[in-house]
Chain A
Amino acid sequence: MTSFLGGNNKGYEMEQLEVVGKSPPRIDERAKVTGGAQYVDDLEFGPDLLYAEVVESPHPHALIKKIDTSRAEKVPGVVAVVTGKDFPYKFGLYMKDRYILAQDRVRFVGEQVAGVIARCPKAAKRAARLVKVTYQPLTPIFDQMQAIKKKPKILIHPDLKNYSHVPWFFPRANTNIAHWRKIRKGDSKKGFREADAVLTDTYRVSRFAHCCMETHIAVGKVDYSGRLTVWSSSQSPYTQRNLFAGALAPLGFTHKDIRVITPFIGGGFGGKAGVTMEILAAAFATRVKGHPVKLRWRRDQEFYNTYMRQAVLTKLKIGVKKDGTITAFEMSNYWDAGPFVEYGANVVNSSGLSATGPYSIPNVKIDSFCIYTNLPAAGPYRGFGYSEMLFSVESHIDRLAKKIGMDPAEIRLKNGIRKGDALAYGAGMHESDIQQCIEKVARAVRLGKKEKSKDPRKVIGKGMAACWKGPAMPPNPSSSAFLKFNEDGSINVLVSGVDMGQGLLTVMAQIASEVLTVPLEKIRVECPDTDRNPYEWQTVASHVTWGCGNAVRRAAVEAREQIYDVVSRAYTYNRESLFLENEKVKCTTDSDFALPLKDFVIDGIMIEDGTFRGGPISGRGMFMPEYMSTQCDPETSQGGHPNPHYTVGAGAVVLEIDKETGKIRVLKVAEGFDVGKAINPELVRHQILGGFLQGLATAIYEDMRFDKDGRILNANFTDYKIPTSLDIPDQIVPIIVEAPQHDGPFGARGVGEHTMIPVAPAVANAIEDALGIRFKSIPITAERIALAIKEGAKEVK
């Protein structure tokens, strides 16, 4: 099938692992191939279900003068019509800059201004069209560079200085700058003087859409006792509950009054993190007490009214010595963050802290600006700003390598960060092996060895990029798990991590199986329900294998301790002599002793006098890192420990380009990541396969366009092109490197977002290798390539 190159398990507990490190089939696969898996739209709510439709702003920036709902209210089947006046409540994850429904103004085309709730979808749609909104248009801003000009002064959030936000954001009052993250380390001016080659240039990364196959959807119901339940397709049920509680507190809701249930979800990619349209279902439900109300986004709404990936303009200056050592790094990032940055400001923040890429650089100056614009709402997306940052950095490093005549793998190996090296914000790097990742991907594609296409109209080029990412989280992100046995020796594991496809349920089951020796077929991992499953901050940041995995392991260990406890009390064996094997308790000092778990994990153990010891066995686990901190010097970012760790890696591609059409065929790909310990190597491979293709799509296919009014032109799959089965590479080589994560379950750290990150710059570097043309913005579509070749361009902005 496939072979995994890698493994350097130095120094970690050398246990003989039975399940962890193997690739058993996913435990949720049967449900998904039989139609058994239920997503929110598959749940039945009975004949009382109401349907909601939103009224959207046609203007990118306008004051709302008047809303007339009278005609809408008269449509047969309409139960309620609501506007911003009904919900003057703010919400937001890291900054409260957003209202449930627009209040005095709208800030993007598509922003929700009113809601209609009706007995059937057709009535809701008909009534929504009859809501009359009178606007006074304001001048919109679509270009982040315009937004920060001193004059004219158009403020998208005039009240910015009064917004509450986390203490590690730095908004600039009376501007459109919602946050400014500064890194100052060493002396970059001195560093440039020491350099033999310096390169300065500007790169642009445009907006992208997640394109989950399941659109956003939520059903809200306030029952007659006043309790709100929201069923949502979400990566973050507990954070949703928290944000609903905050926003609806004026209506008397607290956390105990709110339940969030998340069944299977059809993809997330960061787009279903935090809260977007789900708050509408929650709010609308408070208006129609006793009735469930469903809001399902259409595909076009999925494009413009959820979160888009933010765009960025980057000015970059890097200096290197002739031996390849990077001496100085200066970067300014101007982010088009959209009209609300309650989540997106952290994309700017966290990528701004790590924008150097996986290198040890002594002199660093980075300014990252989170800037409001009137394009559609934007926020978290797989990679959380790192794909955007590393497109420019990894393109730039390749160009510098060329300038000094150094091999692109060599220059990265030379500067690759090692344990103990200082990160851009001063903290020390942990054990990890970027060098092995770089070496192996370069070798897998024979980087540096020129290849010729059999077709004279085509050329072959090769390129690579190194990358990394740390989980971007507040300093106290926690995971917890409950675990219980059943009479047949099977286990239920309850977590609130979400399996959005990455395989969380299976990996958690493998961890529990390893500790308790119960086979995977007898382990269930339950989907989140905030009433029953314990707390998980969010399933984002590629951190749940690590965080939730630790919690599950601790829960399993606690259950195991109870097992040893009851057995050592019921029998005369020394507790230290007991161990588990094949679902039985065994004893090192008595080879005949083999007590099946199912005999006592509910019933307890009967002793000679007929009394019982024990009872139902269960376990609880919790993990929260206690070493993260956002406290640092706001002028330099020195002193904090904002990232718990990094997953480093690299990617390389071999492309064949048609010189007449600009069309690209990917011949070969290699991607390698240091995952600490691959709990399920096949699922790591699957992240590489899927992440590569999503990254490729941003590099050459997905091309979002807006009209002069900031309205998206291609909000559908015909005109916004995501790859089909015909667009896949001929061969993808997955490479797993394992430098153990000291505080991860069995040494594991996460990989999920990462597999997308090196792709766009690797492709840009391969195109340069093939054609001698440097593209400094993405997407690099076939049309742009063909035109550049025709025009004889050497660089394209």
Chain B
Amino acid sequence: MNKKTITFTINGEKRTVDVEPNDLLLDVLRNRLGVKGPKYGCGKGDCGTCTVLLNGRSVRSCIILATEVDGQKVQTVEGLSRDRLTPLQESFIERSSFQCGFCAPGIIMAATELLRKNPNPTREEVQKAISGNLCRCTGYEPIIEAILDVAKKKK
């Protein structure tokens, strides 16, 4: 297969990499660029553990081809934490929201997108925003509470 050279911004840094046309974004991020935040959970877009922000929109990196992000901006959980934690991350820590933590990077990106668009969501809006992210450990409640706490604090 003919490789394609792509250049895109990942967590604020421009990176260039040669990829196969059928390489998935998730695999390129994890195995070629060392960005381990997004996880392999199902490989089919069902579970959300691979969620990243593409130009600010949450997408499933396990079903996006790497070539699709050429010239685009991608953000993962590592991109949130460079200098200091976001109020959302601090809120999750305070509430001990995550248990095993495997769903956390994906949920954090989905919740980050929500709060950027809608800084004062209702409980139902929070539930809907993370409804594409499966979590087996927590029963979701401590995650929802932490997201709502951030909204409350902003007020």
Contact = CB atoms under 8 A, between A and B. Distances in A.
Contacts of A717: 42, 44, 46-47, 134
A265 B136 CA distance: 13
Contacts of B39: 39, 41, 213-214, 266
Interface in A404-440: none
Interface string B38-61: 011111101101000000000000
Interface string A681-724: 01100100111111000000000000000000000111000101
A591 interface: no
Given A213-B49, A686-B142, A693-B139, A33 B77 contact: yes
A67 interface: no
A31 interface: yes
A214 B38 CA distance: 12
A718 B48 CA distance: 12
Question: Chain B, interface size: which category?
Answer: 35 or more
Interface in B100-144: 100-105, 108, 126-128, 130-144
Classify the secondary structure of A's interface with B: loop
B100 A299 contact: no
Contact of A34 (B30, B81, B97): B81
A694 B98 CA distance: 16
A33 B85 contact: yes
Contacts of A547: none
Interface in A732-749: 732
A42 B49 CA distance: 14
A718 B142 CA distance: 25
Nearest to A36: B81
Interface in A251-266: 264-266
Contact of A30 (B37, B46, B93): B93
A25 B144 CA distance: 16
Contacts of A212: 100, 102, 136
Interface string A255-282: 0000000001111110000000000000
B140 A31 contact: no
A33 B92 contact: yes
Nearest to A49: B31
B137 A690 contact: yes
Nearest to A269: B136
B5 interface: no
Nearest to A121: B27
A725 interface: yes
A211 interface: yes
B96 interface: yes
A512 B137 CA distance: 26
Contacts of B89: 33-34
Contacts of A503: 96, 99
A635 interface: no
A654 B94 CA distance: 30
Given A35-B81, A211-B136, A724 B131 contact: yes
B36 interface: yes
A717 B132 CA distance: 11
Given A39-B39, A213-B49, A31 B101 contact: yes
A608 interface: no
Given A34-B81, A689-B141, A689-B142, A501 B101 contact: yes
Interface string A86-126: 00000000000000000000000000000000000000000
A27 B98 CA distance: 11
Interface centre among B98, B99, B133 (most CB of A within 10 A): B99
B50 to A, nearest CB: 11
A689 B41 CA distance: 22
Nearest to B93: A29
A214 B36 contact: no
B12 interface: no
A762 interface: no
A138 interface: no
A148 to B, nearest CB: 34
A28 B97 CA distance: 11
Interface string A660-697: 00000000000000000000001100100111111000
The 8 lowest CB-CB distance pairs between A and B, nearest first, are A266-B102, A501-B99, A32-B101, A501-B100, A689-B139, A717-B46, A35-B37, A42-B36
Interface of A: 23, 25-26, 28-39, 41-42, 44, 210-215, 264-269, 296, 298-299, 500-503, 506, 682-683, 686, 689-694, 716-718, 722, 724-726, 728, 732
Interface of B: 30, 34, 36-37, 39-44, 46-47, 49, 76-78, 80-81, 85, 89, 92-105, 108, 126-128, 130-144
28 contacts: A25-B93, A25-B95, A26-B93, A30-B85, A33-B92, A37-B101, A37-B104, A39-B39, A41-B36, A213-B134, A264-B101, A266-B39, A267-B100, A267-B102, A267-B137, A501-B101, A686-B96, A686-B142, A689-B140, A689-B141, A690-B138, A716-B44, A716-B46, A717-B42, A724-B132, A725-B126, A726-B131, A728-B140
